[in-house]
Amino acid sequence: MSPFQLTRTLPEDATDAALRADVLQGLTRTPKTLPPKWFYDARGSELFEEITALPEYYPTRAEREILLARAGDIAAATGARTLIELGSGSSEKTRHLLDALPELETYIPVDVSGSALTAAADALLAERPGLTVHALIADFTRELALPAAPGPRLVVFLGGTIGNLLPPERAAFLRSVRSLLEPGDHLLLGTDLVKDESVLVPAYDDAAGVTAAFNKNVLSVIDRELGADFDPAAFDHVAVWDAGNEWIEMRLRARAAFTVKIPELDLAVPFAAGEEMRTEVSAKFREERVRDELDAAGLALQHWWTDSGERFALSLSGPPARR
């Protein structure tokens, strides 16, 4: 068997169809919304990498600290022979786990970008020639069909990305993951933690304006892909803490009244002066909430690790032990 396989479970035209559906639905509702997954074209991905290095943006550093400190504990607790990473991207952070899992045979990265998967696999196989990489071009928010691989298996979902899902979406996602797990398998989940607003808001509204450019990039994506005439300069970046829901909202606020035309959808979208469009929700968590949401999906929390500043957490869960 080749050490690298690439399987597409996402139809070739799925991304284009999903963008059309999301833009049509999101821009014809009140208030207007766009899902954050459309930030990540090539330019958006570059901007996000810049964000992770900003002094205000702590999650990436905090999660890396936990991975470095606890990779051995994760390996001991799971004995994983297969590592499945959802939303793998460059697979950069996963290297800490790959190095720590002595029994690992197979790595299954899952991402919507075939080019990102191939580049990551090339780099990993150059470093670890004995590893088998079976990459999946797939949407992890939909039902997944995983290739056969040796157990025990460890599914990882890092970066606090689960916080971008609204509560019903999170519940459906966790149930979907649970359906993939057999006794002895585990889920390693990264969650950003609730903390003071003075720390949270700057992480999403940095002084250098990188997050603002990242937020506005979604408009450039729609312009390019759907022939729209959004002017990113006509919007201000806004980040607010919603204490009731315990999440950060990123929004784009129209500086004046105007109408945006989207020819590919035969759509004209009016904006009032000062109108805000939500582009991202980033939920923050407490241990009890994570435990409850895992339990509702049929997963038992087994380990809870935080960084030294208690800003971020990795939780390890799995199917409850049979009695």
Query: Residue 313's closest CA among 70, 54, 52, 37?
Result: 70
Question: 263-291 burial, b for 16+ CB within 10 Å, e for fewer?
Answer: eebeeebebeeebbbbbbbbbbbeeeebb
pTM comes to 0.93
Nearest-angstrom CA–CA distance, 255 and 219? 15
| Peptide bond before residue 152 is cis, with ω within 30 degrees of 0 | yes
Instruction: Give Cβ neighbours of residue 31 (< 8 Å, ≥ 6 apart).
Output: 275, 276, 277, 278
Q: Tell me if 216 is assigned to some domain.
A: yes
Top-confidence residue, 63 or 138: 63
> For residue 233, what are the CA distances in angstroms to 210, 236, 255?
14, 7, 9
pLDDT at 5: 85
- Contact of 297 with 174, CB cutoff 8 Å: yes
Q: Using pLDDT thresholds of 50, 70 and 90, give the confidence band for residue 323.
A: low
Which residues, 6 or more positions from 115, have their beta carbon under 8 angstroms from its beta carbon?
A: none
* Residue 274 is assigned to a structural domain of this protein: yes
With CA atoms as reference, report the closest residue to 4 among 155, 126, 150, 143. 126
Considering the domain boundaries, does residue 177 fall inside one?
A: yes
Range 223-231 average pLDDT: 97
Mean of the pLDDT values across residues 136-141?
Answer: 84
Of the pLDDT bands very low, low, confident and very high (cuts 50, 70, 90), residue 119 is confident
Per-residue tokens: 46: 């570059």
Supply the CATH number for residue 271's domain.
Answer: 3.40.50.150
> For residue range 26-67, what is the model confidence (pLDDT) as tens digits?
999 999 999 998 998 888 888 999 999 999 999 999 999 999
Answer left, alpha or beta for residue 85, where phi above 0 means left and psi between -120 and 50 means alpha: beta
Neighbouring residues of 269: CB distance < 8 A, sequence distance ≥ 6: 27, 28, 32, 259, 260, 261, 262
Q: Supply 38's token pair.
A: 């459309």
Q: What is the pLDDT averaged over residues 140-166? A: 91
**Structural domains counted in the chain:** 1
Name the residue range of residue 206's domain.
1-318
Look at residue 148 and tell me if it is in a domain.
Answer: yes
Q: What is the mean pLDDT of residues 200-222?
A: 97
Q: Tell me the pLDDT band of 178, cut-offs 50, 70 and 90.
A: very high
Quick check: 239 pLDDT over 80?
yes
> Among all chains, which residue has been given the structure tokens 């950003």?
192
For the residues 249-255, what does the mean pLDDT come to? 98
Q: What angle do CA 50, 165, 233 make, to 5 degrees?
A: 45
What local confidence, expressed as pLDDT, does residue 312 receive?
98
Express each pLDDT in 288-318 by its tens digit.
999 999 999 999 999 999 999 999 999 999 9
| Mean model confidence pLDDT for the chain | 92
pLDDT, residue 170, reads 96
Compute the distance between CA of residue 18 and CA of residue 69 in angstroms, rounded to an integer. Answer: 39
Assigned token pair, 280: 């991202």
Q: Does the residue 323 lie in any domain?
A: no
